[in-house]
């Protein structure tokens, strides 16, 4: 069967289309989905592309089913994924907690919409808490917050690879703007770029007769005793902490001589980058820090930067969900923190520039 992407190809498309192509490039086998705006077109493109490349799709009855069926696909040894948003992400927390507990490498693309509740179908960064630490658990997850269509493509591939390599559920955290807008990117076949695709393995339905040729596989998430759970959970937490430095990613710009660091993630970091450029032209020394992985959070990197520049401005389309992660990472350091929180609303570079200029120097830059 023909490969979906033969060679590097420059394209211009919506983010949802990119996610579908990214999944194809990552050699995903099956998608389980349920309609919710603004991620619908991921399914629309996948259902059109899938039969051409021997891939499968199932539309489930809700997001609980989509999540648990995705887990089933993984257990059968297939690269399986889903996509959701907002209230759908809320329902997804139940299967995700099972994936955390049972080390199931499910991949889910999340296109954030306004919250709480039904709110808007448009845009937000309000699913940070839920995607990093939702469910009844310890947040043993990999969460990539993308900022461009190129990243949507790149990190779909990386999400599958790191999910299967480390066996933690992995997420692409986009948003409605990224989902719906068009921009150029380069698509490629990862193997031709020297990216080795991590091979999925079968958990249930292995070769041979269980009890005769091999032991049966018993997978469970329920334990009888506190100590029994502790013995299962602690090695997982230790392993997560151990591999975190390998997974953590961030982007920083002009932090070395900066008086103020703008901290933002996802698409807002593009407004922050434009603001940085403008302010620098005017001689205002601003730097940028952008966590790419929100879980595990690049704690070491941001602490290092904030040791020399303790002034930060957190900018996000939520009421402090990124700020919570940042504050935890910077615990113990003397930090002067300012914030622009616009829950469920987009943020422009002009707003950031205006905010910084409206402050007295001593307010924003503590020495």
Partner 1 sequence: MSTTAMPKSWNINTKPHKFCPGCGHGHILRALGEAIDDMDIQDRTVFGCDIGCSLLAWDFFNIDSIQTHHGRTTPVMVGIVRANPSLIGIAYMGDGGGYAIGAQHLVNSANRNDKILVVLVNNTNYGMTGGQMAPTTLPGQVTETTPYGRDALETGTPTQGPELVAAITGENAYVARGTVSNLRQLKKYFKKALENVQEGNGFSFVEVLATCPTNWRTNAKDTWKFLEENMASYFKVGEYKVPPTKREG
210 is a site residue for partner 1 (CB under 8 A): yes
CA gap 204, 157 in Å, rounded? 24
| Among the listed residues 13, 24, 30, 258, the single contact to partner 1 using CB under 8 A | 30
Q: What is the DSSP string of 143-154?
A: EEE--SHHHHHH
Exposure string for 124-148, b = 16+ CB within 10 A, e = fewer: bbbbbbbbbbbbebebbbbbbbbbb
The three-class DSSP label of residue 7 is coil
> How far, in whole angstroms, is CA 336 from its chain's centroid?
28
168 is a site residue for partner 1 (CB under 8 A): no
- Least separation in angstroms between residue 272's CB and partner 1 is 40
Nearest to 20 by CA among 30, 10, 9: 30
- Applying CB under 8 A, which part among 154-162, 218-226, 286-294, 332-340 lies near partner 1? 218-226
165 is a site residue for partner 1 (CB under 8 A): no
Which residue lies nearer to partner 1 by CB, 68 or 297?
Answer: 68
φ, ψ dihedrals at 256, nearest 5°: -55, -50
- Least separation in angstroms between residue 296's CB and partner 1 is 26
Alpha carbon of 164 to those of 70, 184, 312: distances in Å?
14, 29, 36
User: Which single residue is written with the structure tokens 């490629």?
Assistant: 188
181 is a site residue for partner 1 (CB under 8 A): no
- Least separation in angstroms between residue 94's CB and partner 1 is 6
Asked if the peptide bond before residue 116 counts as cis, ω within 30 degrees of 0, the response is yes
Which residue lies nearer to partner 1 by CB, 56 or 338?
Answer: 56
| Among the listed residues 6, 221, 241, 361, the single contact to partner 1 using CB under 8 A | 221
Task: Give the strands of the sheet with 293-295, arranged side by side.
Answer: 56-59, 30-33, 80-84, 107-112, 170-175, 142-145, 293-295
- Applying CB under 8 A, which part among 26-34, 279-287, 311-319, 336-344 lies near partner 1? 26-34
362 is a site residue for partner 1 (CB under 8 A): no
| Among the listed residues 73, 88, 176, 291, the single contact to partner 1 using CB under 8 A | 73
- Residues between 77 and 96 that touch partner 1 (CB under 8 A): 77-78, 80, 94-95
The three-class DSSP label of residue 305 is helix
303 is a site residue for partner 1 (CB under 8 A): no
Q: Judge whether 63 and 147 are in contact, CB under 8 Å.
A: no
70 is a site residue for partner 1 (CB under 8 A): yes
Which residue lies nearer to partner 1 by CB, 104 or 365?
Answer: 104
Which residue lies nearer to partner 1 by CB, 58 or 339?
Answer: 58
- Applying CB under 8 A, which part among 13-21, 118-126, 214-222, 237-245 lies near partner 1? 214-222
Burial of 80 (0-12, 13-18, 19+ CB in 10 A): buried
Interface residues with partner 1 (CB under 8 A) are: 29-30, 32, 56, 58, 60-62, 64-73, 75-78, 80, 94-95, 98, 203-206, 208-212, 216-222
């Amino acid at each position: 069967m023909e490969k979906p992407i033969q060679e590097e190809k420059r394209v211009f498309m919506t983010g949802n289309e990119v996610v579908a192509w990214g999944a194809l490039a990552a050699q995903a086998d099956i998608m389980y989905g349920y309609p919710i705006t603004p991620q619908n077109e991921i399914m629309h493109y996948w259902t059109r592309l899938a039969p051409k490349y021997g891939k499968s799709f199932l539309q489930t009855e809700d997001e609980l089913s989509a999540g648990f069926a995705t887990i089933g696909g993984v257990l059968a040894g297939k690269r399986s994924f889903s996509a959701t948003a907002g209230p759908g992400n809320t329902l997804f927390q139940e299967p995700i907690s099972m994936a955390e507990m049972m080390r199931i490498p499910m991949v889910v693309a999340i296109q954030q919409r306004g919250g709480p509740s039904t709110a808007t179908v448009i845009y937000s960064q309000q699913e940070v808490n839920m995607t990093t630490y939702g469910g009844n658990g310890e947040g043993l997850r990999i969460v990539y917050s993308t900022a461009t269509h190129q990243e949507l493509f790149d990190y779909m591939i990386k999400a599958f690879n790191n999910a299967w390599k480390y066996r933690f559920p992995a997420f692409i955290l986009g948003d409605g703007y990224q989902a719906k807008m068009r921009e150029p990117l380069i698509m490629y076949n990862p193997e031709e770029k020297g990216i080795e695709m991590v091979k999925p393995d079968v958990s249930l339905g292995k070769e041979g007769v269980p009890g005769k040729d091999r032991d049966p596989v018993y997978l469970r998430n329920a334990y009888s005793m506190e100590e029994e759970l502790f013995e299962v959970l602690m090695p997982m937490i230790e392993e997560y902490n151990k591999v975190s430095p390998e997974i953590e990613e961030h982007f920083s710009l002009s932090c070395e001589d900066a008086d103020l660091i703008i901290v933002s993630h996802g698409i807002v970091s593009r407004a922050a980058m434009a603001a940085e450029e403008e302010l620098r032209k005017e001689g205002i020394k601003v730097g940028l820090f952008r966590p790419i992985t929100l879980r595990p959070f690049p704690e070491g990197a941001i602490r290092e930067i904030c040791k020399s520049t303790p002034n930060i401005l957190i900018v996000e389309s939520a009421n402090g969900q990124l700020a919570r992660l940042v504050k935890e990472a910077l615990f113990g350091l003397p930090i002067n923190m300012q914030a622009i929180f616009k829950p469920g609303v987009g943020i422009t570079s002009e707003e950031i520039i205006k905010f910084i200029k409206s402050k007295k120097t001593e307010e924003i830059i503590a020495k």
